[in-house]
Structures are given as C-alpha cells and as structure tokens.
Amino acid sequence: MPRRLQRKPKAHRPPRPTGRRTLIPGCAAAEQGVSRTIYSFLTRKWDRELEYRLIKELWAFNGDRIAVDDHPGLSDLGL
C-alpha cells in the first residue's frame, strides 16, 4: 500500500497553546459550566483590550503581492 494511503487525516486537532495563554475546554464539557468559563475569559480579555489598536503600514509591493508591517498596540501588556 502506498505511504500516502497509510496516512489518515486527523478529524480533530487538539488545541495548541502557540501564542495563547489560556486554553478553554471545548464543546464536550459544555454542560459543566463552560459557558461561565468562556464568559469570564472574554470579560477579562476585553477589559485588557480597551486600549487596543492595530497599525498596519504598507511595507512593499510587487505585482500581485504586498507586504504589510503590523504594530499591535498591546506590547506594553505583554500580549
């Protein structure tokens, strides 16, 4: 059997904490108070982001490609 047929795509990829500080449980635990967890998480997140602003500047362009330089406004919060 060819190798490419032996590989099976994953139906679900577990959450990875790349660039994230808080992981929220998925829908499987929805009946155990996850909605309260999500609500409190979003409340904390939005309280921190009241002063958030994102500045994008055109850095370069060529044909049908562009490069944009991002300057997120949360650098002082460590996010």
Residue 37 lies in a domain: no
pLDDT 10s digits, 38-48: 788 888 888 87
Which residue range forms the structural domain that includes residue 52?
43-74
Query: In whole angstroms, how far apart are CA 26 and each of 20, 38, 61, 67, 68?
Result: 15, 10, 40, 35, 33
Side chain identity at 38, as an amino acid letter? I
**Higher confidence at residue 70 or residue 64?**
64
- Residue 78's pLDDT is 53
Count of structural domains, the chain: 1
> Residue 53: what pLDDT?
75
Question: Does the residue 18 lie in any domain?
Answer: no
Query: Residue 64 domain-assigned?
Result: yes
Per-residue pLDDT tens for 12-22?
566 555 555 66
Q: What are the tokens at 72?
A: 């997120």
Q: How many CA atoms lie within 13 A of 62 on its CB side?
A: 2
Radius of gyration of the chain (CA): 20
Q: Does 6 fall in a domain?
A: no
